[in-house]
Structure 1
């Protein structure tokens, strides 16, 4: 069946007549834009009074990017109330749909991306005529909801508030190299390695912005030891400054750095710093990489870490478990 048989399509509101704030504020809602990844879809926050209640959509609403050479056709399900700009289409189901069904259709819509381009955008009838399959039974089966063994691991990584007695308490911002030892990775070529099967081997981390930077699972080399987990990996080139926490041993590709904390840090601190480093991406491009300047980037001192960082993984796990039961 076609997309418009399943959904009513609503367009967003042009940004030209809105007051967009770069920070959350009372009586404001997130204002979404086209983006390749869901985390980048928030363009800012707009006053509810300006956007109007008819243009504010509830948590659990499916939306599609309809413009941008690198952003068009990507589809997501929102976890919060939002408004969106005119290059985003909101899809309102014509029948009751579970979150699992919406996620399934979001993935199906994104898989149609090859049919469009910057000159042939998924707008209007082109979007409405995308063909979508019937939802398979497994999408709503109980086994689908229970297939999240990693949740317990995330819960175990969550930490209560820590009394940080660091030497940087008088500083608000410090350099990356003040908190981490910066090392160059194993600098291997994936096509020269042998793929591992059945969960054996180790992860191969590249400069990718997807899948936690992991491109493959490869067999161990007899003469090269993998890098141990508990570190951050940072892309010096390619997807510059894409930063991830690696919990397991891994090999790495070209122009990939890894950061070892100078003092013991919990997983939530490391995830916080991964986000802080990633927020510096705007300083770089394909022609201006971070190979020489990574250590000098400014990030918050440990004494400046917000209190909400600690225990955040537990809160996320609890919310996911609630969502899976609905």
Structure 2
């Protein structure tokens, strides 16, 4: 959904909008008996609408009503509760039962903007919340525009429902790949790579005054890039598009396509393709190298150093002549990229609310 234009919104004092803030009866942990079909138990957490579990009702602890917005004094997060609930220590609720569920969800999101002003050890108690202010959309009379909130949240829920359905379809489309007819290859086989042992540099001795070269270490995030360093006179960096492979350490087998020129640390080799491999083929191969490395080699015990140019092999799909099936690899990764983009788009929609 498009970003909301809040330029015409107005500030309201929370306590004037919602004077009825309640501290419900407390169900202490020692009284909790979990029960699958029981009543919801709300505690001070930022997850799952504040619900820890479902519990067995207790005779002397009265449930709070559905249709209210809860928050915790510490670790405060505002959640709309659509069912009656029991609650733990320092849980409160704003009585919003006269508003629709959609309006309450909208209000909970607006109230959440207050939380960032209060550190964990400084509780957001009702007396403080009543004096806080929140921004809300307004109608022609300058009053909260409840209709706008209702309609907007329904649009969000509709989009979320579509997103969940799309994610479900993506999950259901996954199929286990049959590798029974695949063949094993060495990195140095024909049509694969020249293996270069890297620049073997010490990051601590590098300078960063005018950084223009990536420095690739034994890391498993950001393509293995740990920093950006100055170019060293007489030492040409490797070209973008080559691949790096960590031979040992905690992230043994981490294999990445490098997006820019780079140097390497010790125990990081460079795989230079023997032909103009596509990005997707490189991605496929890097995944297979990583899988093989993590299955059959062990950091600090049996690392890749002594295997990489001798007996290290990995599986690839092949054509009828037992040569690597480059078209299959390329199309497979293109499909995976398309699926990943859809997953990201759907998660972005889910994060709206």
Q: TM-score, normalised by structure 2?
A: 0.43
Which has more radius of gyration?
Answer: 2
